[in-house]
Amino acid sequence: MRRAMLFKSNKWWLIPAFLLAVALPFFVGAYRLQIFIFVITYSLLALAFQLTMRVGLPRFDVAAWWGVGAYTSGMLMLKANMSFWLTLPISVLVSVVLGFAVFSVSVRRGMMVFMMFGMVFALALQQVFGSVKFFGGWGGTPQLPPVTIGSYVLNDKMWIYYLGMALLIFNLGVYQLLYKSRIGRAWSAIGSGLRLASSLGVNVVGYRLANVLVGNAFLALAGSFSVVYQAMIIPTTYGFQQSIYVMMYVVIGGLGFAMAGPIVGALVLTLISESMRAAQQYQPIVTGVITVLIIMFAPWGLLGVLRSRVVSVLQRLLSSRAALPDIPSSLGSPASVTAEEPGKDA
């Protein structure tokens, strides 16, 4: 029973996953470690998408706000010679303030206007990054200065990986606290139904706006983190297509898994993309087909399939154990029964 409750809580994976993540740099080379750094970045993006899905607002501007964080940190490092660590809170502040100006209008208009507004904003922002000379143009920015901690240059893949892990754990911790708080309960009520939430006295517009701005803050952190391992910032990296991939991460991992789903989806699709590097032109086709198949045959994602299989195995084990006949205590042990039988015959 305890084992079944452990799997049902969806928290059993945390300890082995954490230990595996910590030990990973000691077992893989620099190239493969860079792939996992990409996985961390994409997980941060997917978690933000999953966050807004909680209030019924699918967003297709994730990559645009990722770019806002990257360009804010990059420009401050290039133009103002500012330390990377000082650019982190500034990039979050810029993303939240700009997001408030943008979403104060679109959130009030409902889901469809929010989605369309986000798509237009993402396309327009990419044009700004590519066309305005201040941002470096379509060819990208000049080479970014290295990130340092005192006199130490942070160019070792292992320490970049651990920095990304720290950001990811911080992200997961904040989201978990929010989901368990009164704010999270209000978000859940909004996701269940707008009329239901309004009848309970929930300020739908206010809580939706807060939800999106929290996502913006962590998208900006993801953008700033990408500056650590990139030599330059290129506007095409933050195009609308990347926002579609973020949606695929969440769907493939499992919409019902707020924390693990985005991470598993980002891991699976990133590994598929890297394995198809020699045939990169077919990658969108393959990932699209995989997403469609999962929507059709596994709507709860890979983790939903895994959980159903694990639960069914546990149920069979528990039912087979319950089906074993019990030996009456009055008969005693088999040895005592055997010893008594000769006396009865006599």
8 Å CB contact between 153 and 147: yes
pLDDT over 70 percentage in the chain? 87
Cα radius of gyration (the chain): 26
Q: Assign residue 290 a region (left: φ > 0; alpha: ψ between -120 and 50; beta: otherwise).
A: alpha
In whole angstroms, give the CA distance from residue 287 to residue 289: 5
Average pLDDT over residues 228-251: 91
Would you say residue 64 has pLDDT above 90?
yes
Q: What is the pLDDT of residues 283-306, one digit of tens each?
A: 888 888 888 888 888 888 888 888
Would you say residue 263 has pLDDT above 90?
yes
**Given pLDDT bands bounded at 50, 70 and 90, which one contains residue 318?**
low
Residue 118 neighbours by CB under 8 Å, 6+ apart: 59, 60, 61, 64, 106
In whole angstroms, give the CA distance from residue 57 to residue 199: 20
**pTM, 2 dp:** 0.85
Specify the DSSP element, H or E, that contains 153.
Answer: strand 152-153
Q: Which two tokens stand for residue 4?
A: 């079944």
Would you say residue 315 has pLDDT above 90?
no
- Nearest-10 crossing angle of helices 260-275, 30-53: 140
Q: Are strands 152-153 and 148-149 parallel, antiparallel or unpaired?
A: antiparallel
Q: What is the pLDDT of residue 277?
A: 80
Q: What is the DSSP letter of 344?
A: H
Q: Which two tokens stand for residue 170?
A: 């911080």
Average pLDDT over residues 154-176: 93
**Given pLDDT bands bounded at 50, 70 and 90, which one contains residue 310?**
confident
